[in-house]
Structure 1
Amino acid sequence: MSLRVSSAFAALALAASVTVAPTAFAKPTSGASAVKMIDTDNDSTVDMKEIEAVASATFDRLEKDADGTLDAKELKGRLSKAGVRQADPDNDGTLDKKEYLAAVAERFKAADPDNDGTLDAKELNSKAGKALLALIK
């Protein structure tokens, strides 16, 4: 196999892994790079469906003890204690996936001041956008 073909397969495999399983952010991300990582339909914005896919994968990655919830230790500071209380309507001190995704949706809405249902790089660079990215990184 030539180096060119081998490189093409490696690039294809990398592209497939990004499309099939949204990648998690290794470090704080700018709005523009976040859009590139999350925007599966390549429209230069991210919608709730795209954010929810990444958030769901993030929840699954963080949920280490297989109890179906995230506790403060598993959340690793993504939400403050007050944020956990706000996102935890059953007051059990943990967030199940539904509660976690509701918190993500709330942050998405806060980062979408024009209420168009999408976030661009500028909106993701806002304080509310950065709060959203912190939750799904």
Structure 2
Amino acid sequence: MIGQTRTRTLLAALLVTAVALPATLPQPAAARSGGAAKSLKAIDTDNDGTIDLAEAQAAGKATFERLDTDRDGSVDTKELQGRISKKEMKMADPDNDKSVDQKEYDALVAERFKAADPDGDGKLDAKELKTPAGRSLLRLLK
């Protein structure tokens, strides 16, 4: 009788754990992928379900203005907060002043947009934004 009680108690504890555990585990990538859809919705000002270059550049301009905390018209690596690598910074900074101005930031947004648009249709959908190139672009727009 005691063995059955222990077995039932153990089974009940396992059942409670099995029900509660999934809520505490990290969500799988598929569940997290709503980030691209959420970003798309925020940037897609004409609500056509895609982002075109003009929408990406408008979002990039707003992000640049927010990142330019000292209001000097450029963002340095500290202000960029890891949005681009050191190698990318060198490429985005042709005047080598260790910062990126609005024009240089716009060029970087355009470059990343083009990389995220492999079909060349001039529009990015949620699927394209989930690619490494799309996520790289979104880092500049958030």
TM range (shorter): 0.7 to 0.9
* Aligned residue among 111, 116, 127 for 1:106: 111
Q: What value does the CA root-mean-square deviation take over the aligned residues? A: 1.3
Shift of residue 104 of structure 1?
Answer: 0.7
Tell me the secondary structure at the aligned position of residue 30 of structure 1. Answer: helix
Query: Any unmatched runs of 5+ in structure 2?
Result: 1-32
Code of the residue aligned with 2:97 in structure 1: it is D
Match of 2:131 in 1: 126
Q: Which 4+ residue blocks in structure 1 deviate beyond 4 angstroms? A: none
Tell me, yes or no, if structure 1 residue 42 matches structure 2 residue 53: no
Partner-residue secondary structure (3-state), 1:41: coil
| Distance in 2 separating the partners of 1:29 and 1:87 | 30
- The separation in 2 between residues aligned to 1:129 and 1:115, in whole angstroms, is 13
Q: TM-score, normalised by structure 1?
A: 0.77
Aligned equivalents of 1:76, 1:29: Cα separation in 2: 23
Structure with greater helix share of residues: 2
Superposition deviation, residue 36 in structure 1: 1.0
* Deviations 1:25-69 (CA, angstroms, capped at 9, x unpaired): xxx962211111111111110001111111000000000112111
1:109 partner amino acid: K
**Of residues 78, 90, 93 in structure 1, which corresponds to 2:95?**
90
Paired residue secondary structure (1:92): coil
Verify the 8 A CA contact 1:29 1:133 in the aligned structure 2: no
User: Taking every aligned residue pair, what percent have the same amino acid on both sides?
Assistant: 58
Give aligned pairs, total.
110
Matched, 1:71 2:76: yes
Give the greater-gyration-radius structure (CA): 2
